[in-house]
């Protein structure tokens, strides 16, 4: 189970619990919140590994897209991804997604506000031998 707390937008202050049994696609729900102009935080403390992976991935993608479409910078490992041309957002998002995936790091967010999004590396996905 994950718990989503809506921080801003028309549903600010509300919390929603989502379980695997509910079969709610994470990307769909988070995109709806984004389209409403909302910001959120997700509590993974009671989540299964599958929920953490699925919701974490959707959260990362949605936050990156939200920042890029707003013209805000997304920073990852010292590289800044930003454009004022909305037509360039899909290509830039793909480049960012590749950089995160190719890094081999598990990532989280250090900052997500009106100044932009900072994605930070927490640990490597696989131990080096």
Identify the pLDDT of residue 20. 87
In angstroms, the CA 48 to CA 24 distance is 15
Structure tokens at 65: 């897209």
Q: What is the mean pLDDT of the segment spanning 62-90? A: 96
Answer yes or no: is pLDDT of 106 > 60. yes
Distance separating the N- and C-terminal Cα atoms of the chain: 34
| Residues facing residue 116 across a β-bridge | 113
Answer yes or no: is pLDDT of 74 > 80. yes
The domain locations on the chain are 2-124
Over the stretch 80-97, which tens digit does the pLDDT of each residue have?
999 999 999 999 999 999
In angstroms, the CA 64 to CA 72 distance is 9
In angstroms, the CA 36 to CA 59 distance is 15
pTM comes to 0.89
Q: What is the mean pLDDT of the segment spanning 12-21? A: 93
The fraction of the chain above a pLDDT of 90, given in percent, is 85
Task: Give the CA angle between residues 15, 21, 23 to the nearest 5°.
Answer: 80
Identify the pLDDT of residue 122. 86
């Amino acid at each position: 189970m994950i718990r989503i707390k809506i921080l801003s937008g028309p549903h600010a202050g509300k919390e929603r619990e989502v379980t695997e049994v509910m079969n709610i696609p994470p990307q769909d729900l988070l995109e709806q919140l984004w389209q409403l102009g909302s910001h959120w935080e997700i509590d993974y403390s009671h989540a299964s590994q599958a929920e953490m992976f699925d919701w974490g991935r959707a959260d990362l993608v949605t936050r990156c897209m939200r920042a890029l479409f707003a013209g805000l910078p997304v920073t990852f490992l010292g590289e800044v991804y930003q454009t004022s041309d909305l037509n360039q957002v899909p290509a830039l998002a793909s480049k960012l997604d590749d950089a995160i995936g190719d890094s081999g790091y598990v990532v989280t967010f250090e900052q997500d506000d009106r100044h932009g999004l900072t994605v930070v590396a927490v640990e490597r996905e696989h131990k080096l031998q």
